[in-house]
Amino acid sequence: MGIQSRPPQGNHRQRTEPSVPKIGAGDRGPERSRLAPRSRRGRPRLTDEELRARIIAYCKRHGVGLNDLGLPPFPAGQRETDQHREWMALYKAHRRLSERRPSTADLDRLRELLTQQQGRCPVCRKALDVAESRLDDADAIDGNPHDAGAAVLHAPCRQLVDLVRSLGGEAVDRAKDRV
């Protein structure tokens, strides 16, 4: 008795003829990749000016002022209305924007450390500015305590330092042997 093939189970389809590539309006194949770079996906980066303009337009439209956080007041009693949805969009945009940027105290500290480092990253020795810098602090907020003192690094350099700290010096020596 030989082995018999079982019919496919579940949601499988077996093709009986060779597949033919479909050509649609959006499919331009390799030609497309050579002509133009792909556009970035997702939400476009929001700036302070754009958010401020949206908030001012909302305040004019609904006849309200700003609270001490720089946002219009919550539209109490207006849930599930266009005004409520617009307020939620402003609130979320404000929160996203504020999470992206450091506080003024952090900015002052970054600038001070960057001045002490003569504007250079201590890992790669390349020029560094405040906008692209990441604080490497001994306070162990990120779970990686160390005794090296505070410094300002590029984001990839900070990731490298964190990786070295987590793996240990011996791993770095082994990695050097592989390079």
Shared domain for 75 and 117, answered yes or no, is no
CA separation for the pair 9, 47 (Å, rounded): 53
Pair (61, 119) in one structural domain: no
Q: Domain containing 117: what range?
A: 104-178
The b-or-e profile of 140-177 (16+ CB within 10 A means b, else e) is eeeeeeeeeeebbbbeebbeebbeeeeeeeeeeeeeee
Q: Is 75 found in the same domain as 109?
A: no
* pTM of the predicted structure, to 2 decimals: 0.42
- Does residue 73 share a domain with residue 110? no
117, 81: one domain:
no
Q: Where among 67, 82, 100 does a domain terminate?
A: 100
- Do residue 112 and residue 159 come from a single domain? yes
Most confident of 24-28, 43-47, 126-130: 126-130
Co-location of 116 and 141 in the same domain: yes
Same domain, 111 and 145: yes
Q: What confidence tier does 169 reach under pLDDT thresholds 50, 70, 90? A: confident
Confidence band, pLDDT 50/70/90 cuts, at residue 139: low
Phi, psi angles (nearest 5°) of residue 45: -65, 130
Q: How far is CA 154 from CA 83, 98, 101, 114, 137, in A?
A: 41, 21, 15, 11, 13
Q: Into how many domains does the chain fold?
A: 2
Mean pLDDT of 78-89: 90
108 and 96, same structural domain?
no
Highest mean pLDDT among 23-27, 68-72, 85-89 belongs to 85-89
What is the widest separation between alpha-carbon atoms in the chain? 85
141 and 162 fall within a common domain? yes
Choice between 147 and 92, residue whose per-residue pLDDT is larger: 92
63 in a domain, yes or no? yes
Of 37-41, 61-65, 122-126, the one with minimum mean pLDDT is: 37-41
The answer to whether position 25 is within a domain reads: no
CATH of the domain at 160: 3.40.1800
Q: Which residue has the higher pLDDT, 128 or 143?
A: 128
What is the rounded average pLDDT of the residues 134-141? 64
In a domain, residue 42? The reply is no
In 3-state terms, what secondary structure has residue 123? coil
What are the tens digits of pLDDT across the range 4-20?
666 656 555 555 555 55
Note the pLDDT of residue 44: 76
Does one domain contain both 80 and 117? no
Same domain, 130 and 96: no
Range of lowest pLDDT (38-47, 81-90, 143-152): 143-152
The mean pLDDT value of the chain amounts to 76
What is the C-alpha to C-alpha distance for residues 169 and 167, in angstroms, rounded to an integer?
Answer: 7
